[in-house]
A and B are shown apart, each in its own frame.
Chain A
């Protein structure tokens, strides 16, 4: 079941095509990484999902329905360029933003109380936003994004501006929201947080979708059939089917070699050959990191 689908989205700005035939499927309850280099079209897509702009063609389906104005209260959006009214008090401001999302003042009050207790920021209610530190403002902004309990939460670079402690707090919140059945679309350049959090990803480059699917499947797709082994001894007479890529010495006088095997070959075969020749300390498959996949996929489409 998909909470969000986009079908063949096209968005043209004067002479620049920001999105070209972009179709995505975001499964309900997932943490969906929306990746891509700067200027790829991520923000354009997010703005279309948030109904800030409309696509030239294509459609967006939210929970089975074509996107309509009423959907805004089911979406929570934390833009990359974020800010608050500086001259307004925190509580007043959040109440205002919640009411714009369609909550009544009373509902907003109840939900805000829970968040203020949870984040331990009760004393901030009557403070002016400009008196808060940047990190504190980010927290308030996060509350503003999720307070109306949206089903779909879109976070654009959510960790920028947070110190590690607060970043962790937000990360835990994201996971908790996911566990409660919410879907999070997560747009970032930080591959380590994609690695850590996302279970689905899509990669957009130069207005086109380049990749999408479950993270595991994508890694499977990008795997290079290479393995690494750490050992003592010399490894120079492997059968030609096993291609030795690089050999380096480790700090503690072991050798480390990367070996590629043919796609149809069994790994056991390689292990047998290794055991015959050297004293193995460790052995494993080289699984591509998100970083590798990102660089490779973007690099390929740019060529």
Chain B
């Protein structure tokens, strides 16, 4: 500022510092009051515990359900020896007994089911029978049907003159990998991981806009109904009070997220070690029981292990290919931006009304865009580069949710920049609007406000 005299510059700088100091005092109070609340402490501890408990139960159920079924096979055709592959759930043993004997004794011998393959299975495939005391799982039935079907197919093909070699070549195990083409070259990507991360982040933003936006609204209403607001704004500008509250609550939100993330990671690290042991033990038990089976189980169970490992590895690979720093940075930006753009509006509602019930009529129209955004997000996941995705991820009231869904899929730099700039402008716009309503509303008691009234407030002077 070369135009201003040294003195006036000092005064300006001084008053700016004072005003910053005032806002800082307000932020501090808003932050401390909330963080010290018992409900905050409880939520912060309970959140990760609930997530952990949820996963622990799922994990536990998964581990416990690895309950091996033993299936006896009576193969009169003699063509299916070793054609049934042992897997995590089932071990097959081949019995030489005739069906009538096997039928009576398989339960006593510890089998859960008995598969009978007649001599003329090739000609009459529907004669295959499965006996069991309890009903057989659909999975098991499918596996058996598939294995038999495949073998019959092979036999028929070779009878038709197609060599074993050709058949082997034709049996390609398709484990599709989707490849992202980008400047950096080819990358593996896993569409599921991308979708989950994007949607999860978007949903988190959606939820936090409501949780923390409502906190801002309640805070404003509390000051208004407590009548402390007039005392406060005889010391500070209404805008400072509103901004201080919004930032204070934002910091509460960030603190809560940070604690959640730390606690969750901590819990999963500890819990993971314990659960990991359990999984390993389960696997060992499986191998031993497999080895005790009539047939050689070694290679089969090694294969099981290999597929498990490769599944984990492919998820890890997928996560590696995602631009994690970008996603984290975008998450923080859109979390803050989304929160700020809405919390200003929530604050204005709090200022305009006298009690909680009156908030309803204003809450709905204001939250409509973000509710719409989370609904649109499901379509955006399927088509992350379509026109719907583009426009809703540019529009500031929906972009925090929709853009977050798109970011893990990769978004052109200019779109991201445009969306961010518009979000900042949008936030400034809603804050301006909210401040106009706020400064009038907080001093207005016992008056039921309408939209017409609110629009008048916006144009009141000073």
Name A residues whose Cβ lies closer than 8 Å to a Cβ of B: 13-14, 47, 50-56, 69-70, 72-73, 75, 77-79, 81-88, 96-97, 99-102, 141, 144
Docked complex Cα distance between A14 and B191 (Å): 58
The interface residues of chain B lying within 8 Å CB-to-CB of A81 are 227, 230, 445
Docked complex Cα distance between A47 and B222 (Å): 21
Nearest to A81 among chain B residues (CB) is B227
Shortest Cβ distance from A143 into chain B, in angstroms?
12
Shortest Cβ distance from A42 into chain B, in angstroms?
14
Name B residues whose Cβ lies closer than 8 Å to a Cβ of A: 15, 18, 22, 25-26, 29, 33, 222-223, 226-228, 230-236, 443, 445, 456, 460-462
Docked complex Cα distance between A145 and B91 (Å): 83
Nearest to B15 among chain A residues (CB) is A69
User: Total A-B pairs in contact (CB under 8 Å)?
Assistant: 69
Shortest Cβ distance from B220 into chain A, in angstroms?
13
The interface residues of chain B lying within 8 Å CB-to-CB of A69 are 15
Which of A77, A86, A99 meets B234, CB within 8 Å? A77
Docked complex Cα distance between A95 and B235 (Å): 13
The interface residues of chain A lying within 8 Å CB-to-CB of B227 are 79, 81-83
Shortest Cβ distance from B252 into chain A, in angstroms?
15
Asked whether A50 lies within 8 Å of B462 as measured between CB atoms, the reply is no
Given A47-B443, A52-B443, A96-B25, verify A72-B235 contact (CB < 8 Å).
yes
Asked whether B236 lies within 8 Å of A14 as measured between CB atoms, the reply is no
Q: Which 7 pairs, one residue from A and one from B, show the smallest C-beta to C-beta distance?
A: A54-B462, A83-B227, A83-B226, A100-B235, A79-B230, A50-B234, A81-B227
Given A81-B445, A87-B33, verify A101-B15 contact (CB < 8 Å).
no
The interface residues of chain A lying within 8 Å CB-to-CB of B233 are 52
Shortest Cβ distance from B425 into chain A, in angstroms?
27
Docked complex Cα distance between A44 and B245 (Å): 26
The interface residues of chain A lying within 8 Å CB-to-CB of B230 are 52, 77, 79, 81-82
Nearest to A68 among chain B residues (CB) is B15
Most B CB within 10 A of own CB, among A83, A96, A144: A83
Shortest Cβ distance from A105 into chain B, in angstroms?
10
The interface residues of chain B lying within 8 Å CB-to-CB of A53 are 462
Shortest Cβ distance from B253 into chain A, in angstroms?
19
Docked complex Cα distance between A100 and B231 (Å): 10
Which of A52, A79, A100 meets B22, CB within 8 Å? A100
Given contacts A50-B234, A100-B232, 5 further A-B contacts (CB under 8 A): A14-B456, A73-B235, A79-B230, A83-B231, A100-B236
13 A/B residue pairs, CB under 8 Å, sorted by A:
A52-B230, A77-B231, A81-B227, A82-B228, A84-B226, A85-B222, A86-B226, A87-B33, A96-B29, A97-B235, A100-B26, A100-B232, A141-B231
Asked whether B443 lies within 8 Å of A97 as measured between CB atoms, the reply is no
The interface residues of chain B lying within 8 Å CB-to-CB of A70 are 15, 18
Docked complex Cα distance between A301 and B462 (Å): 30
Docked complex Cα distance between A87 and B233 (Å): 19
Shortest Cβ distance from A116 into chain B, in angstroms?
19
Given A81-B445, A87-B33, A100-B25, verify A52-B234 contact (CB < 8 Å).
yes
Docked complex Cα distance between A144 and B227 (Å): 14
Nearest to A55 among chain B residues (CB) is B462
The interface residues of chain A lying within 8 Å CB-to-CB of B462 are 53-56
Nearest to B235 among chain A residues (CB) is A100
The interface residues of chain A lying within 8 Å CB-to-CB of B460 are 13-14
Given A53-B462, A96-B25, A100-B236, verify A79-B231 contact (CB < 8 Å).
yes
Shortest Cβ distance from B248 into chain A, in angstroms?
13
Docked complex Cα distance between A70 and B226 (Å): 26
Asked whether B461 lies within 8 Å of A56 as measured between CB atoms, the reply is yes
Asked whether A85 lies within 8 Å of B226 as measured between CB atoms, the reply is yes
Docked complex Cα distance between A79 and B233 (Å): 11
Nearest to B14 among chain A residues (CB) is A70
Nearest to A72 among chain B residues (CB) is B235
Docked complex Cα distance between A3 and B409 (Å): 67
Shortest Cβ distance from B359 into chain A, in angstroms?
20
Docked complex Cα distance between A81 and B456 (Å): 24
The interface residues of chain A lying within 8 Å CB-to-CB of B232 are 97, 100
Nearest to B24 among chain A residues (CB) is A99
Asked whether B15 lies within 8 Å of A99 as measured between CB atoms, the reply is no
Most A CB within 10 A of own CB, among B22, B26, B231, B461: B231
Which of A54, A72, A77 meets B461, CB within 8 Å? A54
Shortest Cβ distance from B443 into chain A, in angstroms?
7
Given A13-B460, A96-B25, A100-B25, verify A83-B234 contact (CB < 8 Å).
no
Most A CB within 10 A of own CB, among B18, B227, B235: B235
Docked complex Cα distance between A87 and B231 (Å): 17
Docked complex Cα distance between A3 and B28 (Å): 34
The interface residues of chain B lying within 8 Å CB-to-CB of A55 are 462
Shortest Cβ distance from B152 into chain A, in angstroms?
76
Asked whether A88 lies within 8 Å of B25 as measured between CB atoms, the reply is no
Docked complex Cα distance between A52 and B439 (Å): 9
The interface residues of chain A lying within 8 Å CB-to-CB of B29 are 96
Shortest Cβ distance from A216 into chain B, in angstroms?
32
Most A CB within 10 A of own CB, among B15, B443, B456: B443
Docked complex Cα distance between A55 and B462 (Å): 8
Shortest Cβ distance from A129 into chain B, in angstroms?
9
Docked complex Cα distance between A92 and B338 (Å): 32
The interface residues of chain B lying within 8 Å CB-to-CB of A144 are 231
Docked complex Cα distance between A72 and B235 (Å): 6
Nearest to A88 among chain B residues (CB) is B33
Which of A14, A82, A101 meets B235, CB within 8 Å? A101
Docked complex Cα distance between A84 and B444 (Å): 18
Nearest to A100 among chain B residues (CB) is B235
Shortest Cβ distance from A135 into chain B, in angstroms?
16
Asked whether A82 lies within 8 Å of B461 as measured between CB atoms, the reply is no
Docked complex Cα distance between A54 and B461 (Å): 8
The interface residues of chain B lying within 8 Å CB-to-CB of A54 are 461-462
